[in-house]
Copies of this chain bind each other. A is one copy, B any other.
Amino acid sequence: MNTYDDDQVGRARVADSPELLAYYDELAQLDAGALWTVANEIEPWYPQPKSVPVLWRYRDLRPLVAKALAMVKAEDAGRRVVMLVNPGRKEHSAAVGLLYTGLQIMGPGESMSAHRHAAAALRFVHEGTGAWTIVDGQKLKVGPGDFAITPNGTWHEHGNESHDAPVIWQDGLDIPLTNTLDANFYEIHPELHQRPGPVVNSSVLSHGANLLPYGLEKWTRPYSPVLGYPWEPSYQALRNLAKATGGSPYDGVIMEYTNPLTGGPVMPTMGAHLQLLRPGQRTRAHRHTGSVVYTAAKGRGVSVIAGQRLPWQQGDIFCVPSWAWHEHANLDPNEDACLFSFNDFPVMRSLGFLREEAYPDHDGHQPVADRQP
């Protein structure tokens, strides 16, 4: 067992000296440096995320989001979005780790122009019934609780066809990842708008009940051919699973939105889950690599993250940094509670970085300052 002590064989522990400082200057002249001056920092004992747990309350954010409707024109803003910024990740405009999230508002009758980018996007609808998006020529209508994807490289545009109420949906993107990898591209649609096919929600209609379309052209893109996952059947799937299994000790009854052609995540850089906490259920803590943005989709509860108690109710958003202990509880004794979440687990999995462990003490529960759940 390692002691996490940097003053032992196997760690760098070279003291500065005038000779060494002069030597370091020489190295710097050649765009070089001495590894041992930074080794312990860049080879930490365990992940040292700069992200911290944050809770964004919908009741706090909503008024400010609504304000943007009046203050900026959608087309001047590109998209009218209030982004959620982790205090430790301001320079990346990240909500946690390399994930971006924000609340986008579209007024009645508004629509945006079409563009595409290497960054992948997803949407989770908070309110409003008039939302639509066109992704690579396919029109989707989405309502509260619906989840939709806009994969890397797909043309997209969206709007609100309601006559009287705004739409607020949550965007999730891997922009910080894409930029960190020096791989982002952006393009405006040459005609500013796509011409969608005649069938709305066609990919949703085409995939269901564990059957797949046959005899058509083979789908070869690295993301799900299903562009939308409506709330109702998703929630129903979760309820059905709850009849069949006890679920995970750390997450309750949890499912992943998947690409039905692979059983894998919806996109190669971001995955998404929907989970159900039974009335009064309290999960045990675990931690793992990978960052997660959670949105309370139904009910009310509390999550303890890195020892901090974050109470939430429908619409609230919070995040779990990589390797932070976390556990969840449903505070309602009669109703189930649901959390939608998205994450960078596909990245961690592809690159071989997934690691997980259970919280070993106190029956799986972290100590918190003000412990109530």
Residues of chain A whose beta carbon lies under 8 Å from any beta carbon of chain B = 1-2, 8-14, 19-20, 23, 26-27, 30-36, 38-40, 42-49, 51, 54, 56, 60-61, 64, 67-68, 71-72, 75-87, 93, 97-98, 100, 102, 113-115, 117-119, 152-153, 175-190, 192, 199, 202-203, 205-216, 222-224, 226, 229, 233-234, 236-238, 240-241, 243-245, 247-248, 250-251, 254-263, 267-269, 273-274, 289, 291, 321-323, 344, 347-348, 350-353, 355
Contacts and interface: CB of A to CB of B under 8 A. Distances in A.
A47 B185 contact: yes
A71 B19 CA distance: 8
25 contacts: A20-B71, A31-B56, A32-B82, A32-B83, A42-B175, A43-B186, A46-B184, A47-B182, A49-B182, A98-B180, A181-B344, A181-B348, A183-B289, A183-B322, A203-B244, A208-B237, A209-B236, A210-B260, A211-B274, A212-B258, A213-B255, A215-B254, A263-B263, A268-B350, A347-B351
Contacts of A192: 9-10
A83 B263 CA distance: 36
A240 B206 contact: yes
A207 B206 contact: no
A182 B306 CA distance: 15
Nearest to A26: B64
Contact of A348 (B183, B207, B250, B263): B183
Contacts of A251: 214-215
B182 A323 contact: yes
A341 to B, nearest CB: 11
Given A19-B71, A214-B254, A209 B183 contact: no
